[in-house]
């Protein structure tokens, strides 16, 4: 078993090292941080969404902003699209492809930001929510794990974190990116916490 544990950690370490040395990805993370900060400065709200583990990451991003990340500070307006009643209603009435886009259509406005998370970048419901966001003047930050996805051209910023052949390594990098974005927001608005 130890060899599998070591191999898993080595694979994760390699994926993180590749991200650290990817100048384009780092520039995209910086650009995403600036978009989030500018939206909050102008009274905008942040929305996040994803499927499966990516939904958990979307929820984690939002709760760290409304709650606390490292030190106490005021809450920030962030919502993960994860309400079970909304999702089951829309899935039943319109189909699962619309569970995120209907929420954005109902709640978002020009100046808000959507973080759309899809390891493949090709999930239909993520594609639809990004399209809807663009129509409403909502900026789109995409987190994917592959270049050339359907989501990429819809994003104002697309952070691509290839982590290997499976989604788990991509998700591990996504949570690191989300934590960095939260830290950038906090450092801007609450420098006393650092």
Q: Does pLDDT of 163 surpass 90?
A: no
- Residue 50 marked as a ligand binder: no
> What confidence score (pLDDT) does residue 99 get?
98
**pLDDT of residue 82 exceeding 90:** yes
Share of the chain above pLDDT 70, in %: 100
Q: 66 labelled as ligand-binding?
A: no
Is residue 17 a known part of a binding site? no
How does residue 162 score in pLDDT terms, banded at 50, 70 and 90? Answer: confident
Give the pLDDT score at 166. 80
Q: Is the per-residue pLDDT at 165 higher than 80?
A: no
Instruction: Please check if 118 is assigned to a binding site.
Output: yes
Range of the domain at 90: 2-193
CA distances from 193 to 22, 33, 61, 69, 149 (A): 29, 18, 18, 10, 38
Question: With the CA atoms of 171, 105, 130 and 185 taken in that order, what torsion angle do they form, in degrees rounded to the nearest 10?
Answer: -60
* 47 vs 80: CA distance, rounded Å: 6
Q: 110 labelled as ligand-binding? A: no
**Number of folded domains in the chain?**
1
For the stretch 4-52, pLDDT in tens is: 999 999 999 999 999 999 999 999 999 999 999 999 999 999 999 999 9
Higher pLDDT, 146 or 97: 97
What is the band of 159 on the pLDDT scale with cuts at 50, 70, 90?
A: very high
Does 64 carry a binding-site annotation? yes
Q: Is 125 annotated as a binding residue?
A: no
Tell whether 107 is in a known binding site.
no
d(CA 188, CA 71): 14
pLDDT at 68: 94
Binding site annotation covers 174?
A: no
Residue percentage of the chain with pLDDT more than 90: 96
Q: Which helix (H) or strand (E) holds 143?
A: strand 139-144
C-alpha to C-alpha distance for 31 and 157, rounded to whole angstroms: 7
CATH number, domain of 138, equals 3.40.50.10490
């Amino acid at each position: 078993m130890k060899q599998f544990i070591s191999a898993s950690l080595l694979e994760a370490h390699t994926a993180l090292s590749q991200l650290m040395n990817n100048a384009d990805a780092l520039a995209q993370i910086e650009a995403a941080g600036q978009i989030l900060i500018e939206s909050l400065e102008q009274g905008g709200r942040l929305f996040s969404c994803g499927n499966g583990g990516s939904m958990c990451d979307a929820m984690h991003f939002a709760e760290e902003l409304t709650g606390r990340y490292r030190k106490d500070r005021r809450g920030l307006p962030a919502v993960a699209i994860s309400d079970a009643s909304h999702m089951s209603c829309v899935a039943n009435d319109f189909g699962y492809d619309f569970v995120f886009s209907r929420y954005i259509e109902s709640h978002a406005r020009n100046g808000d930001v959507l973080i759309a998370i899809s390891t493949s970048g090709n999930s239909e419901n993520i594609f639809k929510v990004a399209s809807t966001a663009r129509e409403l003047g909502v900026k789109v930050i995409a987190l994917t794990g592959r270049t050339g996805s359907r989501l990429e051209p819809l994003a104002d910023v697309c952070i691509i974190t290839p982590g290997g052949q499976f989604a788990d390594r991509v998700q591990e990098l996504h949570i690191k990116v989300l934590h960095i974005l939260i830290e950038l927001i906090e450092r801007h608005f609450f420098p006393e916490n650092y």
